[in-house]
């Protein structure tokens, strides 16, 4: 029978529960257990798809097209398993499903309540998310004490009560702040946070204590005494230089051994080599490579989480040490564009809305003309098409209809607008933002002898999408016999998926998001090659 490990967080948010869950799951996966991971998010949005990246960080897209929390990206990267629609459960989804059932009369006349109806629905979704795994890791978003988290905590309390004791385990990640004046580590917030958990019927089995450094035995004894947690189950979760060292830190304290004994599952041998190899290589990378990220959400690094990680994976793959220069595209003008000269590579990431678009077009132009390696992703590809149409094809004011509905050359537009353009009556047809995008993995045919084909070494690839607009098929022929090659397409050459510029050291842009499938141990063919060329050309 499946075992469930629930991970909660206390004291403050952003302690890294997602990375803790991913690191632990990775240790069990490497031992040979089948693991699953799931994130429960207590907010009312159905999914984070409509949230601003400033609020929520990146929206991670799964293979089957779910728009999810960025923690799912950590899960995939650390554990190497595929997440799905069932891997991220929000309060919004739970409530909408309960209300739907109520409308269908499924509750047979009863008053629909948080307990048992909402908690039953949460339990159902947790079991569904486990998907037959030996060990399921379930991360509860938010911080213990939040009003929103209560139904979720109540649901996992019930699961623990319903299952045999060795089938569930509660891990609580908590913070041990240090008071600088006295140089003292404080355990009181942790005591309170555990007290809060216990007051709702959850006694944590394991404590992971976030602190700058490892914590000593005195502190562990004290925490154990006040929280009723086994002294041997109080572990350090010290700050790490790289998140990829965390599985090793956990392994060194034998946290996974402790959990295995508690869960009473047949023992399998520990394997840690992949993480040791990767982190040793990471530490030795000294050949600096400087990449400029020309985005609009540059003040919050989490907005481009997967992209940052992919660039790092590729840098380690090439023995480079990565420096990302986050540049706000709104600050880029014709006058100051030369500041991009000292970059070894330029990335224009995905994005939505008008703000900062002209700066990105200038950056794409600068990279193309000055032979600086350029990688455009999703919006970054649309930017390349607009730039090339304006400056090489002479399509004055070419644009995407996302930014200018009156453009005479809508080289990027909604598919539903392609015919409207022919008839000269573009009107823009988005009424609803949620659930109206091309989402998830789709296949793409690569053109033989192209750069993309030489890197993927495949005729057909599959990558994940998240966008509404497309290269307007009515203009594709205008690019024939130019240096711009559409080297990947889907369907019967209907949708353009990859473009590259000939006679350039490295200029490639994709309509899909390759960053969602990069892994620390292998990188990703496009990123690996981009970083290699960026380093070698300058």
Q: Which residues of 285-301 are buried (b: 16+ CB within 10 A; e: fewer)?
A: beeebbbbbbbbbbebe
Q: Which residue has the tokens 């070894």?
A: 344
CA distance 386 to 402: 12
- Which pair of tokens denotes residue 44? 């009312």
Is residue 358 part of the annotated active site? The answer reads: no
Output the DSSP codes for 228-290.
T--GGGEEEEE--SSGGGHHHHHHHTTHHHHHHHHHTPPP-----HHHHHHHHHHHH--EEEE
- Residue number with the shortest CB distance to ligand GLN? 350
Nearest distance from residue 301's CB to ligand GLN, in Å? 18
Catalytic residue among 154, 378, 470, 504: 378
* Residue of 117, 504, 513, 524 with catalytic role: 513
By beta-carbon proximity to ligand GLN, the closer residue of 107 and 352 is 352
**Residue closer to ligand GLN, measured from CB, 421 or 469:** 469
HSE-CB at 367 with a 13 A cutoff on CA atoms is 34
CB of 151 or CB of 376, closer to ligand GLN: 376
CA 51 to centroid of chain Cα atoms: 14
Q: CB-wise, 15 or 379, nearer to ligand GLN?
A: 379
CA distances from 79 to 40, 63, 70, 537 (A): 18, 15, 14, 34
CB 35 within 8 A of CB 166: no
State the nearest-atom distance from the C-beta of 292 to ligand GLN, in Å. Answer: 17
In three-state secondary structure terms, 503 is: coil
Least distance (Å) from ligand GLN to the CB of residue 412?
7
Closer CB to ligand GLN, residue 175 or residue 439?
439
Q: Rounded to the nearest whole angstrom, what is the least distance from the CB of residue 270 to ligand GLN in the complex?
A: 40
330 belongs to the catalytic site = no
Separation between Cα atoms, residue 18 and residue 73, nearest integer Å: 9
Min dist CB 299 to ligand GLN, Å, is: 18
Minimum CB distance to ligand GLN, residue 465 (Å):
8
Nearer to ligand GLN, 31 or 56 (CB): 56
How far, in Å, CA of 247 to CA of 78, rounded?
A: 9
Q: Do the beta carbons of residue 331 and residue 292 sit within 8 Å?
A: no
**H-helix or E-strand containing 309?**
helix 305-317
Candidates 71, 72, 155; CA nearest to 120 is: 155
Per annotation, catalytic residue among 313, 463, 515, 524: 515
- Shortest Cβ distance from residue 153 to ligand GLN (Å)? 34
- Using DSSP's 3-state secondary structure scheme, residue 179 falls into strand
- For ligand GLN, give the closer residue by CB, 223 or 386: 386
What is the binding site for ligand GLN (CB under 6 A)?
350-352, 378-379, 402, 466-469
The nearest distance, CB 24 to ligand GLN, in angstroms, is 31
Residue 513 annotated to the active site: yes
246-251 long-range contacts, Cβ below 8 Å, gap at least 24?
Answer: 246/19, 246/20, 246/23, 247/23, 247/24, 247/26, 247/27, 247/78, 247/272, 247/275, 248/272, 248/275, 248/276, 248/279, 250/23, 250/24, 250/27, 251/27, 251/275
Q: How many CA atoms lie within 13 A of 242 on its CB side?
A: 23
Q: Would you say 467 or 504 has its CB closer to ligand GLN? A: 467
**Mind telling me the catalytic residues?**
378, 513, 515
């Amino acid at each position: 029978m499946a075992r469930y490990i629930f991970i909660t967080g206390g004291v403050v948010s952003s302690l890294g529960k997602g990375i803790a869950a991913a690191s632990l799951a990775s240790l069990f996966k490497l031992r040979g257990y089948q693991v699953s991971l799931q994130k429960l998010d207590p907010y009312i949005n159905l999914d984070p798809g409509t949230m601003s990246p400033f609020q929520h960080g990146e929206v991670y897209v799964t293979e089957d097209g779910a728009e999810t929390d960025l923690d799912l990206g950590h899960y995939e990267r650390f554990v190497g398993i595929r997440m799905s629609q069932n891997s991220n459960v929000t309060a919004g989804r739970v409530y909408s499903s309960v209300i739907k059932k109520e409308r269908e009369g499924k509750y047979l006349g009863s008053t629909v309540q948080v307990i048992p109806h909402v908690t039953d629905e949460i339990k159902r979704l947790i079991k569904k998310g486990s998907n037959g795994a030996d060990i399921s890791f379930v991360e509860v978003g938010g911080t213990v004490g939040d009003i929103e988290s209560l139904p979720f905590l109540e649901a996992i309390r019930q699961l623990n009560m319903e299952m045999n004791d060795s089938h569930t385990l509660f891990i609580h990640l908590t913070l041990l702040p240090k008071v600088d004046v006295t140089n003292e580590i404080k355990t009181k917030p942790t005591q309170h946070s555990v007290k809060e958990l216990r007051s709702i019927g959850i006694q944590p089995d394991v404590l992971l204590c976030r602190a700058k450094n490892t914590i000593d035995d005195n502190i562990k004894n004290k925490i154990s005494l006040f929280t009723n947690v086994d002294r041997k189950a109080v572990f350090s979760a010290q700050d790490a230089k790289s998140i990829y060292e965390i599985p090793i830190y956990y392994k060194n304290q034998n946290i996974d051994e402790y959990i295995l004994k508690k869960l009473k599952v047949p023992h399998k041998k520990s394997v840690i080599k992949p993480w040791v190899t990767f982190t040793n290589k990471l530490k030795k990378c000294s050949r600096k490579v400087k990449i400029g990220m020309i985005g609009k959400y540059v003040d919050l690094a989490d907005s481009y989480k997967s992209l940052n990680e992919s660039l790092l994976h590729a840098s380690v793959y090439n023995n480079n040490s990565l420096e990302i220069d986050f540049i706000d595209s709104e600050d880029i003008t014709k006058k100051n564009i030369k500041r991009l000269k000292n970059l070894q590579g330029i990335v224009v990431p995905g994005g939505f809305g008008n703000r900062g678009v002209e700066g990105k077009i200038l950056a794409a132009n600068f990279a193309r003309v000055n032979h600086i390696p350029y990688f455009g992703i999703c919006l970054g590809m649309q930017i390349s098409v607009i730039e090339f149409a304006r400056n090489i094809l002479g399509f004055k004011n070419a644009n995407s209809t996302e930014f200018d509905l009156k453009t005479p050359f809508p080289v990027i537009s909604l598919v539903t607008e392609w015919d409207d353009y022919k008839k000269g009556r573009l009107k823009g047809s988005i009424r609803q933002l949620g659930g109206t995008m091309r989402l998830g993995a789709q296949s793409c045919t690569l053109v033989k002898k192209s750069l993309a084909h030489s890197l993927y070494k495949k005729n057909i690839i599959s990558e994940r999408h998240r966008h509404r607009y497309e290269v307007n098929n009515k203009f594709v022929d205008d690019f024939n016999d130019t240096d711009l090659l559409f080297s990947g397409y889907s369907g019967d050459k209907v949708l353009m998926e990859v473009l590259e510029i000939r006679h350039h050291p490295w200029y490639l842009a994709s309509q899909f998001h390759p960053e969602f499938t990069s892994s620390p141990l292998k990188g990703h063919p496009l990123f690996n090659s981009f970083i290699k060329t960026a380093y070698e050309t300058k």
